[in-house]
Structure 1
C-alpha cells in the first residue's frame, strides 16, 4: 500500500529539506521532495521532523527484553518494542557464557533474524567477546573469557549461520592476529575493545584488519601524552570508526566532544550499550547474562558498582547529541543512522531518506520526541496522540 507523508521537515546526514513529501510503497521510499506526486493515503504532518530510523550497533536489550538469550522470541519482542524509541534496525549483541562458547545464543539470534517480520530489523549479530582482556573486562565475567583459537572461531562463525557482522576482541591476546584474519576473511568487521593494548599494539592490529573501535574510552587505556594507547592509534587511522556511548555517564561530555573533534562526524558512531532495563522506568533490578545488576547513579551496574552498560534509548541519545553535545540535527542523524549503517554493511539501503532506500523513518515533534516509526514501510509504532492520523492498514503497531 502506498502512503504519502506530507509537509514533513526531512533531516538526514546530507542536510535538511523542509516542507517536503515522502512517498512510501512496498517497503521502500518511492520518492522524496517538495514537488513529488503523492500516492495512496496522504498524511499531513504539519512540518514535523522526519529522520532516517536509528540503527543500534551496540545494545544488549531494552524494554525488559535481553538480546543475549536462548529464546528467539525474546529478540522478536525486543524488535517490536524498540521501534518506540525510533530504532528501525539493530545488531543483536551476544556476549560470553561460563567455560564455553555462546553457541546456543548465536543459534537463537540467527533464528530470530530469519523470523523477523515486525518492528525493527536485526541486521546481524555483534559478538562482544569471548576474546577480551581480563584486565579490561568491565562487567564481563572472568568465566566468559577465552584466548582466541582457530577451532573456536570456526565454531562461532558456523553457529552464527552467516549473520555475524561485528566482533569485539582484544588484539594483544595470544592468537588474536590469526583470529582477526579468520573473522575478516569471513566478511566480519573486527573491532578493538575491552583491550589493554598499547599504542603500538593497536597500530599493528589496525594494520592487520581491525576497522572499528568498541565504546571508545571505556574498557581501554586512556589517551596520555606519553602513552597514547589504543585511542591514539584509532584517531590516527582514518578508516577506523569509533563508538561513543552518549548517556553522559560513560563518557563526560567534554571527552565526548574531544572524540568528535578527533574522529570527525564521518567516523563516530553513537551507541547506547543499553541493558534490558533501558526504557523501563518502573524497574530497577535486572540480570546481565545471569549476573545480578541494578540501576544506580544513572547507569546499569553490577553489585560491586562496576558499570554494566547504560539505560539509554536511541531517542534520548538524539536529544543528548543535540542538547548536550550541541550537534546540529544532520550531524546527529549521521551518528545515529548513516554511520552505523555503514559499519553494519547496510548503507546501500539504510541510513538516509532517499528514493530506493528502505522506508525506515522516525517522525518526531519539535521537542525531539518520537511520535511514529516506520520500519520497512510499515507503521511499527505510533503515539496515542497521532494514531488517528494513519490508516489502519498502514500499521502493525501494537504500542
Structure 2
C-alpha cells in the first residue's frame, strides 16, 4: 500500500522543497514534489524535515552490538538498532586479529549479508587494516598489524566473497603499491589511513588508485608547512574524498570547518567511527583485550588513547549545522549522497527522488529524530510518530 507523507520540508544534497509531498510504495520513492498527487494512506508532517537516510561507511558497532565479530546475530542486532540513530545503511567494520588475518570475521560478515534481517541495510564490508603503519596505529594492537602480501590479499578477497567495499591501508608500507592496484582492480575503494605517508608518497598512492582518506587528521602524519603530508595531497586531488569524524572530539570544530572548506562539502564523507558502547555510556568494551569506555564524549582506552567515538549520524548532523559554515543540504549530503557515491550505490541511495530506496529520516525543527524508514518500512519512531505511521 502506498504512503504519502505531506507538508514536510524535504532536504537532500540538491536543495530544499518546502511543504512538499513524498509518496512511498514497495520500498521505493515513487513521486515527490509540492504538486505531487497523494496516493494511499496520508500522513501529515507539517513542521517536520525529511532527509534521505544516512549511510555510515566507518563504524564498528553501537547499542551494545560489535561489528567485528564471529556472531552474525550481533551484526543483525546492530542493523535493528542503527535506525534509532539516523543510520539506514552501513558497512560492517572489521579490523585485525592477533598474528593472522580476520578471515573468520569476514566470513561472518558475508553470512550476515546473505541472510539480511530488519532495519538498516548492510552495503558491504570495511576492512580497517591489517596493513597499517605501527607509528600511526592509534588504538589498534600492534599484534593486529602486518606488511602487505599478495597472497594474503587474495585470501581476504576470497573470504569476503565480493562484498568488500572499502579497505583502509597505509600506502607507504612495502608492497602497498601492488595491494592498492589489486584492490582497485577488484572494485574495492582504497582509502589511506593510519598512515605516516609523506606528501609525495600520498600523491603516488593516489595515482595508483587511492580515492579516499580515512578519518582525516586522525592517525595520520599531520599537516605542516614544511612537511605537508597526506592531507595536502588529498586536498589537491579533486577525485579523492575525505572522511570526517564529526563528534568535536576527534577533530576540533574549527579543523572540521577548515577541512570542509578545503575539500568542499561535496568531497567530505561524515562518519562516526563508533564503537559498540555507543548508546551504552556505562558499558565497557573489550578492544583487542584492552578495556575501553566512553570518557568525555569518546571511547578511550585506560591510558586515554582514543579508540573510536560514541557518535551517531543524527548527532553528527546537529554538530555540522551548529558549527556553522555548512547549510542543511550540504550537511545532509555529507551523510547520505557522498558516502553513497563513494561505494557505488548512488543510483538508489542518498537522494529524495523517484526510484530511490525509501530510506527516510523525519526530524522536527530542532533536528531531533522522530522516525526512520528503511526501504519504506518503519524501523524507528517516537511514540507520537509510531501512532502516525502505524
TM-score where L is the length of structure 1: 0.96
Match of 1:309 in 2: 308
Deviations 1:299-344 (A, max 9, x none): 1011221100101111100000001244211010011000011112
Shift of 1:284: 3.9
Match of 2:61 in 1: 61
Secondary structure at the aligned position of 1:104 is classed as helix
CA distance in 1, matches of 2:203, 2:101: 28
Match of 1:337 in 2: 336
Over 3 Å counting, the alpha-carbon distance change for 1:120 and 1:145 in structure 2 is same
Shift of 1:288: 2.3
- 1:375-394 mapped onto 2 (5 Å cutoff): 375-391=374-390
Shift of 1:201: 0.4
Secondary structure at the aligned position of 1:38 is classed as coil
Give the length in aligned residue pairs: 390
CA distance in 1, matches of 2:386, 2:240: 42
Match of 1:225 in 2: 225
Match of 1:81 in 2: 81
CA distance in 1, matches of 2:12, 2:329: 5
Shift of 1:289: 4.2
Whether 2:146 is the aligned partner of 1:146: answer yes
CA distance in 1, matches of 2:280, 2:32: 36
Coordinate RMSD, CA, aligned: 0.9
Question: Bigger CA drift: 323-332 or 134-143?
Answer: 323-332
Shift of 1:384: 1.2
Shift of 1:292: 1.4
- 1:276-355 mapped onto 2 (5 Å cutoff): 276-281=276-281, 283-355=282-354
Shift of 1:353: 0.4
- 1:202-241 mapped onto 2 (5 Å cutoff): 202-241=202-241
Deviations 1:219-278 (A, max 9, x none): 001111111000110100000000011100111111111111110011001111101111
Whether 2:188 is the aligned partner of 1:188: answer yes
CA distance in 1, matches of 2:352, 2:287: 35
Whether 2:16 is the aligned partner of 1:16: answer yes
CA distance in 2, matches of 1:2, 1:288: 45
Shift of 1:38: 1.2
Match of 1:394 in 2: none
Shift of 1:297: 2.3
Aligned partners of 1:275 and 1:288 also within 8 Å: no
Match of 1:247 in 2: 247
Shift of 1:117: 3.2
CA distance in 2, matches of 1:205, 1:20: 45
Match of 1:164 in 2: 164
- 1:118-133 mapped onto 2 (5 Å cutoff): 118-133=118-133
Match of 1:28 in 2: 28
Aligned partners of 2:141 and 2:288 also within 8 Å: no
CA distance in 2, matches of 1:34, 1:240: 36
Match of 1:174 in 2: 174
Deviations 1:147-170 (A, max 9, x none): 010110000001111100000000
CA distance in 2, matches of 1:123, 1:325: 31
Shift of 1:39: 1.2
Secondary structure at the aligned position of 1:266 is classed as helix
Match of 1:397 in 2: none
Runs of 5+ in structure 2 lacking a partner? none
Secondary structure at the aligned position of 1:362 is classed as strand
Over 3 Å counting, the alpha-carbon distance change for 1:289 and 1:21 in structure 2 is farther
Aligned partners of 1:197 and 1:229 also within 8 Å: yes
Runs of 5+ in structure 1 lacking a partner? 392-399
Secondary structure at the aligned position of 2:222 is classed as coil
Secondary structure at the aligned position of 1:231 is classed as helix
Shift of 1:8: 1.2
CA distance in 1, matches of 2:197, 2:77: 38
Deviations 1:57-102 (A, max 9, x none): 1011111111100011100010010000111100111000000100
Shift of 1:366: 0.9
CA distance in 2, matches of 1:34, 1:256: 35
CA distance in 2, matches of 1:248, 1:69: 28
Aligned partners of 1:18 and 1:47 also within 8 Å: no
CA distance in 1, matches of 2:289, 2:239: 36
